[in-house]
Amino acid sequence: MSSYFIYDSINQYRSDNTVSEGQMSDSGTPTFSATSTITNHERASDQNIGTIISAVADRDAIEYAVGSSVTADCAAVYFTGDDSVSSGTIMTFFIDTDRASLPSKGTISAVSAAGWAVTDLTETTGTKFFTEFNGSVTNVSEILIGKKLSFEVEPDVNIQSSIDYNNIKNSSMGGVEYVLNVNPGQEEITIGFQNISSTFKDALVEMQNQLKGEAKKFLFFDSSKYYWCRLGKSMVFTEIADSRWSTQIVLRQQIQ
């Protein structure tokens, strides 16, 4: 399986978006009605995978109303543990410009352990994005709706990895050093591409623009493992031949 990024392409994390909780009608193409149902529903889109929503019942739903028309083709959900549903579909995603007669764009099936669950959506442009829960789903901490950017080639073999412990170091007047450790360490991954097309370069630039550089978190899949991360710095592209480019991408893994 090839590597890819999943990032917020719908401005999901903008503070001026309207995020509503409610319920879907019992229908194959349901209608959303806003009502107080889910406890702490805002935690599903706060860029923090350490806090969860709760009190979820069958057909409860969350609506993201983002204003202008935007496009999504993927959804990723982080679970802090078993979802408490034994099998079958546990989440359904809808995209439209209204709340009525919503067509399904994709689903996620039951999970039994902590981690990311990812599904491809039918690529759709809309202003309203919905997540419906199909059962009393538990341990949902983050729902990311956006775009999947698959790598056109795998990164070069010289991938670099290091740990930043964010130590704060001070020295006394006599030269004695004192160090305060503030977290268990964050991995920094540097991946390089020596020869990519203008099409892939433009897609990377679009992702960086959507992320506002280091501002928003996103998901990196290295063909075996998911990383919840930010850009460590802006990408720099070098033209090595006509319409061919090289670049490095620095990823800073997030603790939560």
Q: Quickly state the pLDDT bin for 174 (edges 50, 70, 90).
A: confident
CA distance 15 to 19: 10
Mean pLDDT across the stretch 58-66?
Answer: 96
Length of the chain: 256
Mean per-residue pLDDT of the chain: 94
- What percent of the chain shows pLDDT beyond 90? 84
Residue 1 has pLDDT above 70, yes or no: no
Amino acid 254 reads Q
CA distance 213 to 107: 30
Question: What pLDDT score was predicted for residue 173?
Answer: 86
Question: Minimal CA–CA distance to 217: which of 19, 16, 48?
Answer: 48
CA distance 10 to 157: 33
**Residue pair 131/90 in contact by the 8 Å Cβ criterion:** no
Between CA 234 and CA 239, with CA 235 as vertex, the angle to 5 degrees is 150
172-188 burial code (b ≥16 CB/10 A, e <16): eeeeeeeeeeeeeebeb
Residues 80-136: tens digit of each pLDDT: 999 999 999 999 999 999 999 999 999 999 999 999 999 999 999 999 999 999 999
Question: What pLDDT score was predicted for residue 27?
Answer: 83
Residues 189-236: tens digit of each pLDDT: 999 999 999 999 999 999 999 999 999 999 999 999 999 999 999 999
Structure tokens at 195: 């020869």
Q: Quickly state the pLDDT bin for 153 (edges 50, 70, 90).
A: very high
**Tokens 């290091």 found at:** 162
